[in-house]
Amino acid sequence: MSRDTPVIGVTLVKRPGSPVMKVLHRRGLLAVGAAAALAVTGIVVLPAVNASAASGCRVAYTVANQWPGGFTGNITITNLGDPVNGWTLGWTFPDAGQKVGQGWSATFSQSGAAVTARSLDYNGNLGTGASTGIGFNGTWTSSNPIPASFTLNGVTCTGGVTNSPTPSRTPSSSPSTSTSPSTPPQGGTPLAANGQLHVCGVNLCNQNNKAIQLRGMSTHGIQWFASCVTNASVAALADDWKADLLRIAMYVQEQGYETNPAGFTNQVNQYVDLAESKGMYAIIDFHTLTPGDPNYNLDRAKTFFASVAQRNANKKNVIYEIANEPNNVSWQGIKSYAEQVIPVIRAADPDAVVIVGTRGWSSLGVSDGSDENEIVANPVNASNIMYTFHFYAASHTDSYRNVVSRASGRLPLFVTEFGTVTYTGGGAVDLGSSAAWLDLLDSKKISYANWTYSDANESSAALRPGSCAAGNWTNLSESGAFLRGRIRTADNF
């Protein structure tokens, strides 16, 4: 699927030259901190301004969200020259009323209209052809023109830049959207573009053996929020959000599958069909959380996956997630479970990707004081599989990102669930940490689904309370507006 978010292209010339705490909580994972964030309402994308190419490095500056007196600026830096070990990006705002507020993925400072952004430890090294993204929430007073030029490590951009007319800025409480299916964009839907997926090396690859990244949303528990998964709501995800993926969270306990196996199996299958009709992939999530040992549900898992795999074996859009967040269980226990459930799926559907949960609420063991080494040393004995990583951005920051950055070169990872808030599912939305996480996932082509596409009364929900009953799929929360802006940027299929 192609996406049509324009960017402002600027070409630059570059010359060579903590102890782990164990905490049990409702959503899982470890709490290590929190941060406040600015609200983002409405989405107004400015038209592109292009510069001629030059050797060295390239910058794309995008104003993706704008509201009265404020805006979100996203910047992508691509290194076209020799490898860089640490970088400083500078620019001058054309209007003195423009100010950088909260930033992410860089350290920002401003003196007058001049702004400096410095790399962090995890994104300072840029090899030839590598890119990194940074961003900020800013303010403006009388006008909000784009910067005319940038410097990288003190070298001024030499490419000519011609500004397009600045569009009018219309305040909006939520982005416009359509709840009915529309003509797919050029290149077709994600499903049409990619077909049957498979694991190649540490990547998720499409039918053409190209490494790809899927981006989308997870439902909340379908026993509670079925009204949020409708033809209209999934059409909004596909057509307006440009999402590639719907994760179907079927709880096993907590009034879920164990209470009505046939009913919940049918419900999951209906949602798979709905995602397929919109050209999206579907993750069937066997949402085990309490108790944390997936072996408690081993027989249920075999029964459920035998049924859904046989029913959906001929579909190309299905991915199986066999254990949501194992906790208080060893990696060996999780591995044993996986090696008993995967053959059940393979007997009916030999080609689909299977995702295996990891220790410590799917934190690769980090929340239990471990890391990816235990999996690398003792991997699941199966092919075409990936391993789960979950995070909550206000609680899990650099130490978790560092593990994922390292592990992504050793294991095929899929972030099947993450939140913009704390591990509880509530608290303040941390836009800075959320953006840092998504920048990392984008750079590593790690696919992800955000928690949640629901109107739950918690700040992690993408929709405001009451939206699903009203059928209002444009009534986005702060988290929803941020995720929509990230997900609808262009795919690279």
Candidate ranges 108-122, 166-180, 208-222; pick with highest mean pLDDT: 208-222
- Both tokens of 363, joined, read 């934190």
295: phi then psi, degrees, rounded to nearest 5: -65, -20
Same domain, 268 and 316: yes
List the structure tokens of 151. 């410097």
Distance CA 281, CA 213 (A): 12
CATH number of the domain that 224 lies in?
3.20.20.80
308: left (phi over 0), alpha (psi -120 to 50) or beta: alpha
Bigger pLDDT: 77 vs 111 = 111
- Asked which of 138-147, 395-404, 443-452, 459-468 is least confident by mean pLDDT, the reply is 138-147
Position 33: which residue type? G
Given the residues 276, 321, 374, 417, select the one marked as catalytic.
417
Determine the straight-line distance between the first and last CA of the chain, rounded to whole angstroms. 7
In a shared domain, residues 260 and 152: no
Q: Residue 253 pLDDT > 70, yes or no? A: yes
Do 345 and 263 lie in one domain? The reply is yes
Q: CATH code at 74?
A: 2.60.40.290
Residues 6+ apart with CB under 8 A from 299: none
pLDDT at 303: 97
Q: In three state form, how does the secondary structure of 470-483 look?
A: HCCCCCECHHHHHH
Domain with 284, as residue range(s), is 190-487
57 & 129 share domain: yes
* Structural domain contains residue 112: yes
Cis bond before residue 291 (omega within 30° of 0): yes
Determine the Cα–Cα distance for residues 135 and 123; give it in Å rounded to an integer.
13
Cis ω before 177 (30° cut-off from 0)? no
Exposed e or buried b per residue across 222-240, where buried means at least 16 C-beta atoms within 10 angstroms of its C-beta: bbbbeebbeeebbbbbbbb
Q: What are phi and psi of 383, to 5 degrees?
A: -105, 165
325 is catalytic: yes
Tell whether the model's pLDDT for residue 38 goes beyond 80. no
How far apart (Å, rounded) are the C-alpha atoms in residues 408 and 443?
10
Q: Give the C-alpha distances (Å, rounded to integers) separating 117 from 17, 105, 107, 138, 436.
A: 20, 9, 5, 14, 14
Among the candidates 156, 171, 198, a domain finishes at 156
Tell me what pLDDT residue 140 has: 83
Q: Which of 485, 27, 439 is CA-nearest to residue 243?
A: 485
pLDDT, tens only, 457-471: 999 999 999 999 999
* Predicted confidence (pLDDT) at residue 159 exceeds the cutoff of 90: no
> pLDDT tens digits for 120-135?
766 788 777 666 677 7
Q: Are 57 and 78 within 8 A, CB to CB?
A: yes
User: For the chain, what is the domain count?
Assistant: 2
Domain identity same for 150 and 201: no
Q: Poorest-confidence range of 50-59, 291-300, 303-312, 314-323?
A: 50-59
**41: pLDDT strictly greater than 50:** no
Residue 50 has pLDDT above 60, yes or no: no
Residue 131: its H or E element: strand 131-139
pLDDT band for 362, please (50, 70, 90 cuts): very high
- Are 259 and 342 found together in one domain? yes
Q: Once rounded to an integer, what is the mean pLDDT over residues 9-15?
A: 34
Mean pLDDT for all residues in the chain: 81
Q: Name the helix (H) or strand (E) containing 385.
A: strand 385-392
pLDDT of residue 163 exceeding 70, the answer is no
Give the strand order in the sheet containing 203-205: 198-200, 203-205, 211-212
Catalytic residue among 276, 321, 325, 478: 325
The Cα 378–Cα 245 span in angstroms is: 30
User: What is the DSSP pairing of strand 88-92 with strand 211-212?
Assistant: unpaired
Residue 155 has pLDDT above 60, yes or no: yes
- The reply to whether 467 falls in a domain is yes
Question: What DSSP element (H or E) covers 440?
Answer: helix 431-444
Residues 238 and 137 in one domain: no
Position 135 scores a pLDDT of: 76
Assess contact for 285 and 320: CB atoms under 8 A: no
C-alpha of 390 from chain center: 11
Distance of CA 150 to the CA centre of its chain: 28
Q: Is the dihedral of CA 258, 301, 225, 30 positive or negative?
A: positive
Average pLDDT over residues 5-10: 36
My answer on whether 265 and 143 are in the same domain is: no
Looking at residue 46, its pLDDT comes to 38
Place of tokens 């964009």: 185
User: How high is the pLDDT of residue 443?
Assistant: 94
Residue 164 within any structural domain of the chain: no
CB 368 within 8 A of CB 330: no
Cβ atoms of 123 and 402 within 8 Å: the answer is no
User: Within a domain: residue 384?
Assistant: yes
Q: What percent of the chain has pLDDT over 70?
A: 78
Using one digit for the tens of pLDDT, what is the confidence trace for 321-337?
999 999 999 999 999 99
Q: Which two tokens stand for residue 344?
A: 């059940």
Answer for the pair 102, 431: CB distance below 8 angstroms, yes or no.
yes
Tell me if 359 sits within 8 A of 173, measured CB to CB.
no
Residue closest to 437 by CA, chosen among 475, 380, 378, 486: 486
324 inside domain: yes
Q: Are residues 124 and 207 in the same domain?
A: no
Amino acid letter for position 125: N
Residue 119: predicted pLDDT: 87
Tokens in use for 108? 């920002």
The span from the CA of 405 to the CA of 417, in Å, is 17
pTM of full prediction above 0.85: no
Within a domain: 493 = no
Radius of gyration (C-alpha) of the chain in whole angstroms: 22
- Helix, strand or coil, per DSSP, at residue 477: coil
Q: Please report whether residue 276 resides in a domain.
A: yes
The predicted structure's pLDDT at residue 16:
29
Closest CA to 41 of 178, 176, 177, 174: 174
pLDDT tens profile 83-128 = 878 888 888 888 888 998 867 667 889 999 999 998 876 678 877 7
Closest CA to 354 of 414, 274, 441, 442: 414
For residue 13, pLDDT over 90 is answered with no
pLDDT band at 157 (very low <50, low <70, confident <90, very high): low
Domain end, chosen from 156, 176, 205, is at 156
Going across the sheet that includes 114-118, the strands are: 107-111, 114-118, 88-92, 150-152, 155-156
Do 130 and 234 reside in the same domain of the chain? no
Model confidence pLDDT, tens digit, residues 260-298? 999 999 999 999 999 999 999 999 999 999 999 999 999
Residue where one domain finishes, among candidates 139, 156, 173: 156
3-state secondary structure of 409: coil
DSSP state of 386: E
389 in the same domain as 470: yes
Residues 308 and 429 grouped into a single domain: yes
| pLDDT higher than 80, residue 12 | no
What mean pLDDT do residues 332-348 have? Answer: 97
Let me know: does 6 contact 45? Beta carbons within 8 Å. Answer: yes
